[in-house]
Chain A
Amino acid sequence: MSAAPEIAMHDCRKAFAQTLIELARADERIVAVCNDSVGSSNLGGFREEFPERLINVGIAEQNMVGVAAGLANAGYLPFVSAASPFLTGRATEQIKADIVYSGANVKLCGQSPGVSYGELGPTHHSIEDIAWMRALDDLPIVVPADPEQTVEAVRWAAEVEGPVFLRIGRYKVPSVSEGQVPAFRPGRAEQLTDGDDVTLVANGTMVTVALQAAGQLEASGIRARVLNMATVHPLDHESLLRAARETRGIVTVEESVPRGGLGGAAAEFLAENQPARMRLLGTHEFAVTGDVEYLFDRFDLTPGGVADAARNLLAT
C-alpha cells in the first residue's frame, strides 16, 4: 500500500472514511454498504472513487445487514456504515443471526453514536448500542478515542477474519494517542496517566474527559490512572486486575448506558475476579431535549462530574 495521505487528525468520521478508501484501493473485496447515509457516513469520497462498490440499499437497515452478509458469502469484504442507533437497533436480529451466529466476515460501523445527535433526541441517540452488541456471542467491540485509533482500528478490522463492531464518533475530539505507536492494540487498554489512588476507565469521547478529570484530581492531591479501554470486547482483563489491586477504586466513564456497557463489562469481570469499589458513569436514561454539551452536563459526563465521582468513591 502507498504511503497514507494526510488525515485531518481531529475528526474520527473523516479518518474512518479516508482509511476505508485507502484500504479499498489495495483490496478489491472491500465494499461499503449503507442506508441513505452517504452523507452522514462521509462516504461521498468512496462513492466517487468506487461508484460500483458503494451499495446504498435505501432506508432499510434490516435489508442492509442481510445484504452485507450475502456479499460476504460471495467473497466481498463489506463495511456496513450507518447511524449506530439504526444499525444496531433496527437490525439487531440480522446482526445476531446473519452476521455473528453465521460468522459472516462483515464489519459493522456504527456512526454518530452516544448522544451525538443531541437535540434530535433519544430515538437518534445510540446509548444502548454497546449493551446490545455486547450481548452477542464474542463479537469484538471497538470504540476508538481519536482519529489515530480510528485509522488503526479500521485497518485491524479489515485484516481480522470475522465480524467486528466499530463505533465511530461524530464530533471532533482532541488526540489522546498522539505519538503513541501503535495507537490501537486490539483487546488492550492504553494507560495514559500513572496513578495509584483511583483509576478512571474510559473510551471514545470520554477519554478526553477522563484525562481532564485526572488533571483536576491531581490539583487536589489525588493521583488518577487513566485507562483508554478502546476495546470493550474482549476486555483487557490484566489492566483491570492491576487497577483493582493497585488503586483504591475504579470509575468507568462512557457515552452510553453503563448497564451492559463498558461499566457493566468491567464490573462483571471484577465481581468474579477481583472485587473493587466502583462508580459506573454514563447516560442513565432517555435524555431530555438539549444539545450535546448540555446533555453531557446533565449526565455529569464532564471533567468536574468525573472528578467528583472519583472523590466520592475515595471518601466513602
Chain B
Amino acid sequence: MSAGTITSTQPPCTTSADVRDLALRIRLGALDTIATAGLGHVGGDFSVTDILAVLYGGVLRVDPADPAWPDRDRFVMSKGHAAASLYTALALRGFFPESELATFAGPDSRLGGHPNRRKTPGIETNTGPLGHGLPVAVGMATGAQLAGAGWQTYVVVGDGEIQEGSNWEALMYAAHRGLSNLTLFVDRNRLQQGAGTEETNALDPLDEKIRAFGWETSVVDGHDIEALWAAIRAPRDHGRPVAIVADTVKGKGVSFMENLAAWHHKVPSAEQVELARAELMGARA
C-alpha cells in the first residue's frame, strides 16, 4: 500500500490503484487464513472485499494505536461470517500483526470464527447471528447525531441477511431520525447459504424497497472501486441515511468459486488454494 498517511487516523490509500492493491492483499490474506484454519466463509469474504478495501483503504478515520478513540468512524460488519476478510483488512490497517491471522479459529485465538469486540482490536460489536449489525449501527449514528459529533457510521449487511425483520425495523427508524451520517452497504451477491435469494425469499427490487423506507439509495457495481468511493462521497445534504446496494459476485475473483452457493463455507483444498492465488494475482497483474 503506498503511503498517503498524514496522521495515523487518516486512511492510507490516495488512489484507486492503491485500493485495488489493498483488495488483492485482503483476498490473498483471507484465502490463506481460511486455508490455514480449515474453516471460513470464502464466498462472502470475496464478495465484500472491495467494499472493505475502499473503507479501510480510503474512507475510515480510525486509529490502530487507539482503537477506542472516541471520534473514530464506526464500521460494523453485520455479516460476521466474513470474519477472515475483515480480520485481514484490520491487520493490514495495523490493528494487529498480519502473522496473527494464522491463529484464526485456533485454540484461544483472539480471532474467533466470528468477530468479538472484547478480544479483537478494531471490532465495534459482536456479530454472527444475522440481523444485528444494522440496528446497532443505527444506535451509533443516533449517538453521533445527539452529540453533534462528526464521525460517520458504516455498516455492511448481506443480502440474505436482510431477510431478517430487525433490519427493516432499523431501516425505518434510521430514516425517521434523518441519519445522514449513516451509510449502509448491502452486499448484493444474490446468494444466501443454501440457494439464491430470489428463489428463497425474493428481495428485488431491493433498492426501491429501501428508498420507500426513506433512504437515499444507489445501486453500484460492488467491485468497482471508483463507483463505491463516489457513492460514499456523494453529498449528504438530503438529510437521509444512505444505502448503497452493491452488486457483487459471491466468490469474486476465483472462477471456480464465483456464483456458487457451495462456496458459502466450503474450504479450498491445497491445490485449489494455489489455483485461486494464481487467478487473483493474474487479474491484478
Residues of A participating in the B interface, judged by any CB pair closer than 8 Å: 36-40, 56-63, 85-86, 89-90, 117-124, 288-291, 294
> Chain A residue with minimal CB distance to B110?
A289
Q: Chain B contacts of A119 at CB under 8 A?
A: 37, 39, 105-106, 112-113
B108-A121 in contact (CB<8A)? no
Closest to A61 in B: B164
Contact with A along B156-198 (1 / 0, CB 8 A): 0000110111000000000000000000000000001111010
Task: Chain A residues near B126: list those with CB within 8 A.
Answer: 123
CB distance from A55 to the nearest CB of B (A): 11
Contact check, B128 vs A60: say whether CB atoms are below 8 A apart. no
A122 vs B80: C-alpha distance when bound (angstroms):
12
Task: Give CA–CA (A245, B226) in the complex, Å.
Answer: 75
**Contact, CB under 8 Å: A36 / B113:** no
The answer to whether B129 touches A85, judged by C-beta atoms less than 8 angstroms apart, is yes
The answer to whether B165 and A62 have CB atoms under 8 Å apart is: yes
Contact between chains at B105 and A36 (CB < 8 Å) = no
Interchain residue pairs with CB less than 8 A apart (22):
A36-B194, A38-B194, A56-B200, A57-B201, A58-B192, A59-B131, A59-B193, A59-B201, A61-B164, A62-B165, A90-B129, A117-B113, A119-B112, A120-B114, A120-B128, A121-B112, A121-B114, A123-B114, A123-B126, A288-B107, A288-B108, A289-B111
Complex Cα distance, B200 from A290, in Å, reads 32
Chain A residues within 8 Å of B109, by CB: 289
The complex places the Cα of A59 from the Cα of B161 at a distance, in Å, of: 6
Task: Scan residues 131-166 of chain B and give those whose CB is less than 8 A from a CB of chain A.
Answer: 131, 160-161, 163-165
B residues in contact with A85, CB < 8 Å:
129
Query: How many residues from B make CB contacts under 8 Å with A?
Result: 32
Find B163's partner among A58, A123, A294 (CB 8 Å cutoff): A58
Partner of A290, one of B106, B161, B192: B106
Q: Across the interface, do A37 and B194 meet the contact criterion of CB distance under 8 Å?
A: yes
Closest beta carbon of chain A to B91's beta carbon, Å: 16
Closest CB in chain B relative to A48 CB, distance in Å: 14
Answer whether residue B85 sits at the interface, using C-beta atoms and an 8 A cutoff: no
Q: Tell me, rounded to whole Å, the shortest Cβ–Cβ distance linking A128 to chain B.
A: 13
Which chain B residues lie closer than 8 Å to A40 at the CB level? 193
Complex Cα spacing A90 to B110, Å: 26
Interface flags for B255-282 (1: CB within 8 Å of A; 0: not) read 0000000000000000000000000000
Which A residues lie within 8 Å of B108 (CB)? 288-290
Q: Are B129 and A60 in contact (CB under 8 A)?
A: no
Interface flag for B116 (CB, 8 Å): yes
**A289 with B107, Cβ < 8 A, contacts A119-B39, A120-B113, A124-B113 known:** yes
Closest 6 CB pairs of A and B: A58-B201, A123-B128, A119-B105, A58-B163, A120-B113, A121-B112
Flag whether B30 is at the interface (Cβ < 8 A).
no
Docked CA distance A38–B194 (Å): 7
Give Cα A89 to B164, complex, Å.
14
Contact of A60 among B105, B116, B127, B163 (CB under 8 A): B163
Give A288 to B164 CA distance when docked, in angstroms.
Answer: 28
| Complex CA distance for A63 and B165, rounded to whole angstroms | 8
**B31 part of interface (Cβ distance < 8 Å):** no
- Docked Cα-Cα span, A309 to B107, in Å, equals 24
Q: Is the CB of A123 within 8 A of B127?
A: yes
Instruction: Find the residue from A56, A118, A122, A123 having the highest chain B CB count within 10 A.
Output: A123
